[in-house]
Amino acid sequence: MAISILPDIIITDIMMPEMDGVEMCQVIRKNKKTSHIPILMLTAKTDEYSQNIGLNAGAWDHISKPFDTIALLQKISNIIVTRHAYRKQLLEQNITLEAKVHYTPYDQEFISKAIKVVENNIDNSEFNPDSFALAVGLSRMQLHRKLKALSGQSTTSFVNSIKVKFASRMFDQGCDRIQEAMDAVGVNSHAHFNSMFKKVKGMTVAEYISSKK
């Protein structure tokens, strides 16, 4: 279910038949499709060792049983809010020590690889979600879900944001020819380029260039 649904969060008990919560957490963390999903563990054991074993397996947090429903809901809310806050750090490769605690090394490596794939195809107008997915070893839908979970962006928005950053750096360095920037990032339509630029930067290309002057 975790692989097919890719939920925002998983809440699990530690003591379960067939596969306990610790083993399940380890399996989820090792799978590149599910490694980003935060896991909250419920445990009846209150000793430090029992609580730490879940954290060491990759759980985000734990809560002792019996638990207060309001406290559980608040922990869930805190985890989701915190995940949203770290998305920008992960996307911009500004990985703080605190952020590293909440993202697996695979997640960090995945974002790095995804950015590099886009940058390597930055001027390729034929580069699309299918070729992107093939390059990172996921299906198109899996790529979309993974990027959405990690960065909060769709595949198209993720690619466009990198293209806009590349183009804006050109303008920052003195380029004032819009067509040159469009060619550099593989965009053929001026209207599309202007639209994606405004979505990321909050202003049109012409307004951005003017602001640099």
- Domain boundary among the residues 51, 66, 94 is at 94
Mean pLDDT of all residues in 61-75:
86
In this structure, is residue 99 part of a structural domain? no
Residue 205 forms part of a structural domain: yes
Taking only the tens place, the pLDDT of each residue in 118-174 is 999 999 989 999 999 999 888 898 888 888 888 888 999 999 999 999 999 999 999
Tens digit of each residue's pLDDT (9 = 90 or more) over 70-123 = 988 998 888 888 777 776 666 665 544 455 555 666 777 788 888 899 999 999
Give the pLDDT score at 178: 93
Residues 6+ apart with CB under 8 A from 66: none
| 201: containing domain | 104-212
11-29, pLDDT tens digit by residue?
998 888 889 888 999 899 8
Instruction: Provide the number of structural domains found in the chain.
Output: 2
pLDDT value, residue 97: 47
Overall pTM > 0.75: no
In order, the DSSP letters of 32-48 are TTTTT--EEEEES--SH
